[in-house]
Amino acid sequence: MVVYFRGMDFEETTNLMQAMMHSGELLTLPDIKVPKIDKHSTGGVGDKVSLVLAPLLAACGVCVPMISGRGLGHTGGTLDKLESIPGFRTDLTIEQFKRQLKEIGVAMIGQTAEIAPADKKMYALRDVTATVDSIPLICASIMSKKLAEDLDGLVLDVKFGSGAFMRDYMKAKLLARTMVQIGKRSKVKTVAVLTDMDSPLGICVGNSLEVMESVESLKGNGPDDLMEVTFALAEQMLKLGGMKGGRDMLAQKIASGEALAKFRQVVEYQGGDVRVIEDYKYLPLAKKKYGVPALRNGYIHAIDNYAIGMLLAGIGGGRLKKEDGIDPGCGFKIYKKVGDRVARGEPLAEVFVDRAHRIDTLRDTLRGAFSIESRPRRRKKMVREIID
């Protein structure tokens, strides 16, 4: 709490990160000769970038040793999304993780007991003492795990806006700068990309729905905003790995089916049901769905993304407490984004839920997250700034 109120200077933050990183094992990957580049997102609503990005980069010849997290509060978690695939295991041992990286170039697992165990203990304390929102503690937490991975490079997706952990742009920028400096101090090439989280990313919000959208994106059918962020991060990862080709190569790997084939390998290696890639009936999905129509004509001026994330947690698709279970089949499809025109009666969103809920209240709450005004609103760029 002293750190929360008084802050830390850069040296103190770096020293804390180093101490947390060295509280456990450091990964060594000497058998992997290609660039080892990871990506970390500070979290948001509908953020399924990792599910598209990791196999895409592996198809380009980059090794992606991705250690991800679970959802809490309004933000979703990569592990929860992957585990909505029947049988998919994220609890690989370090040896299984290394073997998979060597064989297919990508693995997506949860934090192990061996990697930065101090972080897990300290985060639990921060959670119950309301000291989570501290830039030095956030930096030390994220970077202690990532820099233990024996990386050649790290790309950070630092989000700002109503659905981001750091809503304020300048605070998000400070967080990004601090983490980039820590990475470089630790001799790991690090870049941060500041991306907008004022609307859900993509159309789908909810675990199995986001898996479907990720697979569609790997088939070349991804929504523009999701692909813009994915390509921006992927280009930076290629640059850090010293690889040429850029966006053209990324688009080609999707068009050729190589990125989707790599995702299939990940699912197969980690015990998941590969049939989900061709037939979504093998994914859990709520059988009941309800439309949420607009009540007036106009333009979407703002979306309370935080409210949408918390509403998902409220119907079982996320966690309000760490020990909460997850209903992988519930969620939303969000059809309108900031800047879009909408007509009365046109769908703003769709709700997928089987549990007993007051659907009229649910609809009204979700509709209330959209601010509609008569004058046009300019669409925002998804990528605001790159800090390297």
Residue 307, token pair as written in the block? 């409210």
22 carries an active-site annotation: no
The answer to whether 84 and 95 have CB atoms below 8 angstroms apart is no
40 carries an active-site annotation: yes
Edge-to-edge, what's the strand order for the sheet holding 189-196?
A: 37-41, 153-160, 189-196, 383-387
From the candidates 119, 152, 225, 304, which is the catalytic residue? 119
The Cα 50–Cα 221 span in angstroms is 16
* Pure H helices in 159-290: 169-185, 207-218, 224-240, 246-255, 258-269
The answer to whether 204 and 350 have CB atoms below 8 angstroms apart is no
The Cα 105–Cα 95 span in angstroms is 14
The answer to whether 279 and 285 have CB atoms below 8 angstroms apart is no
From the candidates 48, 70, 81, 145, which is the catalytic residue? 145
Edge-to-edge, what's the strand order for the sheet holding 298-303?
A: 341-342, 298-303, 370-373
DSSP labels for 357-371? --HHHHHHHHHTTEE
167 carries an active-site annotation: no
From the candidates 68, 84, 134, 141, which is the catalytic residue? 141
Whether the CA torsion 322, 324, 327, 333 is positive or negative: it is: negative
The Cα 127–Cα 385 span in angstroms is 30
φ, ψ of residue 273 to 5 degrees: the values are -85, 105
- Residues with Cβ within 8 Å of residue 82, at least 6 apart in sequence: 51, 68, 88, 90, 108, 211, 270, 272
* Pure H helices in 10-131: 10-21, 49-59, 78-83, 94-104, 117-128
From the candidates 36, 38, 39, 40, which is the catalytic residue? 40
119 carries an active-site annotation: yes
340 carries an active-site annotation: no
The answer to whether 295 and 364 have CB atoms below 8 angstroms apart is no
Cβ neighbours, 10 Å, residue 376: 11
Kindly list the catalytic residues. 40, 119, 126, 141, 145
